[in-house]
Structure 1
Amino acid sequence: MVMEEHRKALRIGLLWHTFSHGNLGVDALACGHAILLRRAVQRVGVTAHYTSLGAGQNRLAELPGDVTNGPEPQLKQLLKGNFGFLTAIRNCDVVFDIGEGDSFTDIYGVRRFARLVGTKLAVLALGKPLIIAPQTIGPFNLPVCRRVAIAVMRRAGGVFTRDELSTAFLNECGIANAEEFIDVAFAVPVIKQAKAGDRQRVCLNISGLLYNQSYTGKNELGMRLDYASLTHALIEEMGKRPGVEVHLLAHVSGSGGDDDDTAIMLELKRRYPSAVTAPMFKTAGQAKSYMSGMDFVVAGRMHACIGAFSAGVPVVPIAYSRKFNGLFSTLKYAHYVDGKVDNAEAALGKIMAAFDARDSLAVDVDRGLTIANTRLERYVDRLVHILKYPLSEARRKVRSG
């Protein structure tokens, strides 16, 4: 691979991966991708050490033995002459950039885009192979952001998407080195929990982001859906059903900001005392295992949806961007609420109909999991190819770019 014959350990950079992040979706991406990389490394017959180069690192977290937390990618530090991040990149044989799943876009602002693209340019400038791991890519609404993103992707050793909408976007942009797989969070392991048997457990993954109308309360996401009204109506409607026990689950915690799910979960618990609040989980695997004991899940967070889905539980996602629509369309799963289209009344109707048809949803989940697992295996095959050979094509692109 990217190493001389005498050296047997690969040094793999995990850019924009963060283990034990307060946003369990970020943790799911890091853990899931590391699991798939380990499978590939084992097939290649070498050993590897991974350096996590993500934001919001929990320095007290218990990391896997083969993972080290490296410097966080901060452009401010680079401008101040702190080159720890560049040194860490220089020490890698290959760098996989997962973009926190959906951040390689300008819809979250130019500043965030600059951080994401700046770190990619640093990898390329240091002559290291850059692999853009499976993620949602785009949209890029500003022409300058679009041009820069396309230039970076053309120099990457591989550009991998997790859904058909991102793939279509890359085809439109003329990115020839693009391949479609699936979200790596499907690889997060689960410890299956027993169902209650005497009652139906319905889990609501509460989204602080949607409840508070995005980061500023100004509905930057362009939602037609009044998510707070829907949440209240859903808890009350489920409460009327005999034998239903409502559980509330936070998937993003610790930030204290408007996107933090915990404060909303506790507020709802005060308003609806009979609801059961889930524990505060440290990892995505713990949350996924908890949801495996549910009979039905409604989730406002992408990776809570994936956690429930990959645990085999009927789930209704609350979609607020094309990352939802693209992924579940790829899985041939049509049971979701589109927050940009549906109002609260329509959304409630869809969810209650899905609850009544949950056995049918379970069949569709099973079919979707077959698609996801097949794509994960294809991705591991691709990783074996990347890790086994010297990436001569990617290196030529770096030198000639």
Structure 2
Amino acid sequence: MKFMIVNAFGRSNRGDSVLLDECIHEIRAKFPDAQIAGAVFEGIEAARAVHPAVVWSERIGNSSGGGAGRIKALIYLLAAWFSAWLPFLGRLLPEKQRQTLDAIRNSDVVISAPGGYIHDTNFAYFIALLHIHLGTIMGKTVILAPQSVGPIERPFSRAVARHVLGKVPFLCARESYSYDFLAHDLKLPEKQVYRTGDSAFWNTHVEDDPALIDGIFESLGVPSGKPVFGMTVVKWSFPKSKTAAADLERYTDAVARAADHMAETYGLQPVIFNQVSEDLPASLDVQRKAKTKVIVDQTSREPDILRAMIARSKVFLGTRFHSCIFSMMAGRPTFAIAYLPKTEYIMNDLKLTHRHTPIDAINYDYLIKQIGGDFENLSQAEAEIRDAVLVYQKDFSRLQDILGLIGAKR
């Protein structure tokens, strides 16, 4: 069996890294002798270093150079699309993108990588759908791995999604909202839609050398035995707001105040972990605003190490949602600030509706009450998180379960 993974971001976002790792692991679990290829938006060499047996290439549509770059991207996308009928047009693509097109053509199964977010906020929406569509028009078995779909606001965007996704036999929705959107809003056949969980809840690869993790914390200035208040921050653009800069300031203000509260009231050391390095300016802004000492880890670390570090938190306040999953997988009391709908939806699926607040309207008093109460009732809070994760894993299917159905629909 030949598998091609499309729509993977790369390894610079450690949440996406874990999802990509799990996707490859689950393919190998079901098909040990599978030949696997994958296309990433960025970081081919980084992906190859971790998974040398996978043949890596570049996302179709990548380009640079402003307006001229956008025109080139459109040419690449159209050339890839029409090459399904006129293969010679594939020669118009750059070599690394042509390798992606060839890998799709030569595959048996095309998987749209888990954790994606199909939402019509920018042109990347159409690029993601094109990679899925290439699989179906070339006659491959296509799987939309567990991810978020919707809301899709524009009528044209909805029509394109309905056309493309309607031909996909395995649509894995990772939240109840996405399932309802696919089955009821887009009115796709329910036999094609599968209710699954986020793949990160089944990935258990965590660094188990405590001396290594101790050494990293000490290098950051956190002495051994010092209790940690863990955090992640996002440099969010507030795309629907007319006062985006002010909204970002209010958000970082709230996180800084939370850090001060946990440090001054309970003696915890606030540490901002680095899931995505592009968030560092916002993390450093929180550090600047806080009255107490806030440590920002500016090093980009492999997911197994990042997860082991997050697990040292007594209480965790996360905005990057996969850092919240890493925390919950370790049984740490977790509160999420939702910058995308997926956070709210997955927390609700976990029956943890009381553990999130929207980024554009943070309920600060409630947030402080929750994280303070978690520390004061640590055993109870940890048990709640552990039980929620176990029930989630039991209630929802995983990608591996869907891979086991391939033979029935091929």
TM superposition score category, shorter chain reference: 0.7 to 0.9
Q: Which residue number corresponds to residue 7 of structure 2? A: 16
Mark the CA change 1:308 to 1:227 in structure 2 (over 3 Å): closer, same or farther.
Answer: same
Q: Which amino acid aligns with 2:256?
A: H
- Cα-to-partner distance string for 1:58-113 (whole Å, 9 max, x where unaligned): 42451323312123221543446214432121111101103x6242111x22x122
Q: Which amino acid aligns with 2:281?
A: A
Q: Which residue number corresponds to residue 57 of structure 2? A: 70
- Cα-to-partner distance string for 1:165-200 (whole Å, 9 max, x where unaligned): 111222213222101111112233123576988442
CA apart distance, 1:161:
0.8
Is 1:224–1:343's contact at 8 Å kept on the other side of the alignment?
no
Q: Which residue number corresponds to residue 261 of structure 1? A: 279
Mark the CA change 1:58 to 1:71 in structure 2 (over 3 Å): closer, same or farther.
Answer: closer
Mark the CA change 1:207 to 1:378 in structure 2 (over 3 Å): closer, same or farther.
Answer: closer
Q: Which residue number corresponds to residue 328 of structure 2? A: 309
RMSD of aligned alpha carbons = 2.9
Mark the CA change 1:279 to 1:292 in structure 2 (over 3 Å): closer, same or farther.
Answer: farther
Distance 1:314 1:87 in 2: 46
Q: Tell me whether 1:49 sits opposite 2:35 in the alignment.
A: yes
Q: Tell me whether 1:159 sits opposite 2:171 in the alignment.
A: yes
Is 1:229–1:344's contact at 8 Å kept on the other side of the alignment?
no
Mark the CA change 1:217 to 1:381 in structure 2 (over 3 Å): closer, same or farther.
Answer: closer
CA apart distance, 1:219:
5.5
Q: Tell me whether 1:150 sits opposite 2:162 in the alignment.
A: yes
Mark the CA change 1:69 to 1:87 in structure 2 (over 3 Å): closer, same or farther.
Answer: same
Q: Which moved more, 1:135-144 or 1:262-271?
A: 262-271
Distance 2:385 2:348 in 1: 12
Q: Which amino acid aligns with 2:30?
A: A
CA apart distance, 1:119:
1.7
Higher helix share: 2
Q: Tell me whether 1:364 sits opposite 2:379 in the alignment.
A: no
Distance 2:50 2:152 in 1: 34
CA apart distance, 1:264:
2.8
TM-score, normalization: structure 2?
0.80
TM-score, normalization: structure 1?
0.81
CA apart distance, 1:223:
6.8
Number of residue-to-residue matches in the alignment: 364
Distance 2:193 2:157 in 1: 19
- Cα-to-partner distance string for 1:202-245 (whole Å, 9 max, x where unaligned): 11112222xxx436985569979931110121121122124311
Identity of matched residues, %: 19
Q: Which residue number corresponds to residue 109 of structure 2? A: 94
Is 1:292–1:313's contact at 8 Å kept on the other side of the alignment?
yes
Distance 2:408 2:107 in 1: 14
Q: Which residue number corresponds to residue 207 of structure 1? A: 234
Q: Which residue number corresponds to residue 206 of structure 2? A: 190
Q: Tell me whether 1:245 sits opposite 2:257 in the alignment.
A: no
Relative CO higher for 1 or 2, CA cutoff 8 Å, sep ≥ 6? 1
CA apart distance, 1:390:
6.7
Q: Which residue number corresponds to residue 274 of structure 1? A: 293
- Cα-to-partner distance string for 1:304-331 (whole Å, 9 max, x where unaligned): 1111111221111111232111111111
Where structure 2 has 5 or more consecutive residues not aligned to the other structure, the ranges are 62-72, 80-91, 215-222
Is 1:14–1:97's contact at 8 Å kept on the other side of the alignment?
yes
Mark the CA change 1:50 to 1:223 in structure 2 (over 3 Å): closer, same or farther.
Answer: farther
Q: Tell me whether 1:233 sits opposite 2:257 in the alignment.
A: yes
Q: Which residue number corresponds to residue 45 of structure 2? A: 59
Is 2:252–2:285's contact at 8 Å kept on the other side of the alignment?
no
Local SS of the residue matching 1:101: coil
Distance 1:327 1:282 in 2: 25
Q: Which residue number corresponds to residue 257 of structure 1? A: none
